[in-house]
Chain A
Amino acid sequence: MHIPDNYLSPATCAVMGAAMVPVWTMAVRKVTQEFDKARIPHMGIGAAFAFLIMMFNVPVPGGTTAHALGGTLLAVVLGPWSACICVSIALLVQALLFGDGGILSFGANCFNMAFVCPFLGYFIYRFISQRVKGQTGEYVGLIAGSYIGINMAALTDAIEFGLQPLLAHNAAGQPLYCPYPLSVSIPAMLIPHLAVAGVVEAAFTVAIVSFIRRVSPGMIHEGAKTRIRPIFAVLVALICLSPLGLLAAGSAWGEWGPDEIASVANGGKALGFVPAGMANGFKFDAFLQDYSVKGLPDIIGYIISAVAGAAILVILFRLFSLIGKSSGQRKRV
């Protein structure tokens, strides 16, 4: 679901980025005002979770791959505003360090994965769990919230793709950026997510939320017991299991490189051309492109990427908690 650069026209990227600015502002304000400073490092662990969950690619019908997001999971554990910040920063690290998702399309990616998914998932979860009492309500809420959340994110993603041929084309009518109209992009994105990725997302969400609730309820409700070590153990387990994401061969839909796109078949017919905007568009070489290290086996490269990404996110939020502390002290003075 990570839109690479040059799939969206620059105007679309600008609009999506502008749409995210008020969300980010509000999220930072909410978190600094309402979130206990000591819990900000938990957000780092949350961001690391989202980062790792997104590394588990699963094969989907049609020969492409998809992955879960963990947006609803973070929203239930840390609240939707913190989840928005966590996923945004995880996406930023992915884009800058691993070349997963574009730099220009960062705003659009955040809109789909850091705004639509966590907020929608969270509100559906709340709606159901408040009306259906007891364990059943909790679980039904989690499953419905995470399943609908990721699918709505896939839908907005597909709409952004599908609008491109209408918005940007040359005089001959040949699209400059993403070449597929809505009639292609929506089924191509939604079917794999409805069939596979949504189920994986719901499974991850239920498993991890119930684990945290049992082991370290303090991460969800303030004042309860917090134990960080078992949570770190789950992170390490996810890192060790991350090469499973390599089992699914092929690129995800809408994440082909410029060298791949001409031969991508759709309805039995290859596209046959490289859209002009993609062939000579903005290019950014990440340090660990596609989570691999040159000269090392894929599996080891994937594990190193997982470790580095998770560590960077945890470090970042530990540093953020310092900023929070000093500004809090200033207020008191």
Chain B
Amino acid sequence: MTPEWLLRSEGYAPRSDRDAFIDKSIRTFLSILSRIRSQTRGTQRKAFVDARVKLVSLLLLILFTSLSHRLIFVGLCGTVVLVILSLSRGEVILDILKIALAVAGFTFVIFLPSIFWGNLVGAVTVTAKVLICVAAARFLAATTEWRALTRALGAFRIPDLFILVLDFTLRYIILLGALSLDMLYALKLRSVGRNKDKTGSLSGIAGTLFLKSRDMAEDTYSAMECRGFTGTYRARRLPGLRVSDAFVLAADVAFVCAFAFIGA
């Protein structure tokens, strides 16, 4: 026979608790992970311009934009950035503009006092420079795979060990990020009603993450030794340049000439 207490309907409503900080952490982790994943997804499609060429062009653009004192040249750089943006997809443009406009807006606010003192041209020039540099840097990050970027660093005589560490960092950000995401979900699911110990569990997550990362590092090192790692790491070299790269390099030369004539 069914006991009476089993038949009684229960009105248990768990008391609501503040867990906004968990949601926020989850959201941050998710956004970082999805950004990294979206950048590594485009592996199959061959990039139009080599990462090394892109990196050189970006450095030139930022260097000469910052060096120039003339609004004309800054306007020219702005036109270059506009052309680059117009060749990208809508999502990429939106992503770049959001960040670049926010940073440039902040710069403009900082320069407001100088405008009141009569230096409008200076304020506009600096704001435009910030807009151009941030947009260009963001464009590189948004359209280049991280692996290709770290490898491109090798072409600039950056020590291989440094590239190895960078590669590992990126990989571990994904692995450990996924791990902490799982733990955060677990904490959220297990906290029914009011859970006073939630903040304590969060430090537990951090500690577990640390232990786990040490284990992973040891495992990776053993795996590398098993495969014959002797302490020197050679980053894989990138293939040679193509016609499109030569075209971009020619544009770089033209850009430097333009700086020599009208920028300085």
Chains A and B form a bound pair: yes
Among B37-89, those with CB < 8 Å from A are 70, 72, 75-76, 78-79, 82-83, 85-86, 88-89
* CA distance in complex: A18, B79 (Å): 34
Most central of B72, B88, B90, B93 by chain A CB within 10 Å: B90
Contact assessment for B93 and A315 in the assembled complex, using a CB-CB cutoff below 8 Å? yes
Does A215 sit within 8 A of B, measured CB to CB? no
* CA distance in complex: A186, B96 (Å): 48
For B75, list chain A residues within 8 Å (CB). Answer: 287-288, 293, 304
* CA distance in complex: A321, B94 (Å): 11
Does A312 sit within 8 A of B, measured CB to CB? yes
Number of B interface residues, CB 8 Å?
A: 18
Does B91 sit within 8 A of A, measured CB to CB? yes
Contact assessment for B85 and A319 in the assembled complex, using a CB-CB cutoff below 8 Å? no
- The A contact surface, by secondary structure, is helix
Does B262 sit within 8 A of A, measured CB to CB? yes
For B86, list chain A residues within 8 Å (CB). Answer: 310-312, 314-315, 318
* CA distance in complex: A315, B88 (Å): 8
Question: Knowing A307-B83, A311-B86, A314-B86 touch, does A319 contact B94 (C-beta < 8 A)?
Answer: yes
Contact assessment for A304 and B90 in the assembled complex, using a CB-CB cutoff below 8 Å? no
CB distance from B38 to the nearest CB of A (A): 16
Contact assessment for B91 and A307 in the assembled complex, using a CB-CB cutoff below 8 Å? no
CB distance from A302 to the nearest CB of B (A): 13
- The B contact surface, by secondary structure, is helix
Contact assessment for A311 and B83 in the assembled complex, using a CB-CB cutoff below 8 Å? yes
Contact assessment for A318 and B82 in the assembled complex, using a CB-CB cutoff below 8 Å? no
Contact assessment for B262 and A304 in the assembled complex, using a CB-CB cutoff below 8 Å? no
Contact assessment for A318 and B72 in the assembled complex, using a CB-CB cutoff below 8 Å? no
Contact assessment for A293 and B72 in the assembled complex, using a CB-CB cutoff below 8 Å? yes
Number of A interface residues, CB 8 Å?
A: 20
Contact assessment for A318 and B89 in the assembled complex, using a CB-CB cutoff below 8 Å? yes
Does A41 sit within 8 A of B, measured CB to CB? yes
* CA distance in complex: A258, B161 (Å): 68
For A307, list chain B residues within 8 Å (CB). Answer: 79, 82-83
CB distance from B123 to the nearest CB of A (A): 15
* CA distance in complex: A129, B90 (Å): 36
CB distance from B188 to the nearest CB of A (A): 25
Contact assessment for A311 and B85 in the assembled complex, using a CB-CB cutoff below 8 Å? yes
Contact assessment for B91 and A304 in the assembled complex, using a CB-CB cutoff below 8 Å? no
Does A214 sit within 8 A of B, measured CB to CB? no
Most central of B75, B86, B262 by chain A CB within 10 Å: B86
For A304, list chain B residues within 8 Å (CB). Answer: 75-76, 79
Contact assessment for A321 and B90 in the assembled complex, using a CB-CB cutoff below 8 Å? yes
CB distance from B33 to the nearest CB of A (A): 22
* CA distance in complex: A314, B93 (Å): 11
For A224, list chain B residues within 8 Å (CB). Answer: none
Contact of B72 among A295, A308, A322, A325 (CB under 8 A): A295
For B85, list chain A residues within 8 Å (CB). Answer: 311, 315
* CA distance in complex: A308, B80 (Å): 8
* CA distance in complex: A325, B93 (Å): 15
CB distance from B26 to the nearest CB of A (A): 22
* CA distance in complex: A235, B25 (Å): 47
* CA distance in complex: A315, B90 (Å): 8
Which 9 residue pairs are nearest across A and B when measured between Cβ atoms?
Answer: A311-B82, A311-B86, A318-B90, A314-B86, A322-B90, A308-B79, A311-B83, A315-B86, A321-B90
Can you list 15 A-B pairs, Cβ within 8 angstroms, ordered by A? A287-B75, A295-B72, A296-B262, A310-B86, A311-B79, A311-B82, A311-B85, A314-B86, A315-B82, A315-B86, A315-B93, A318-B93, A319-B97, A321-B90, A322-B94
In the complex, given contacts A293-B75, A308-B82, what are 19 additional A-B residue pairs having Cβ atoms less than 8 angstroms apart? A288-B75, A294-B72, A295-B70, A296-B72, A296-B262, A307-B83, A308-B78, A308-B79, A311-B79, A311-B83, A311-B86, A315-B85, A315-B93, A318-B86, A318-B89, A318-B90, A321-B90, A322-B90, A322-B91
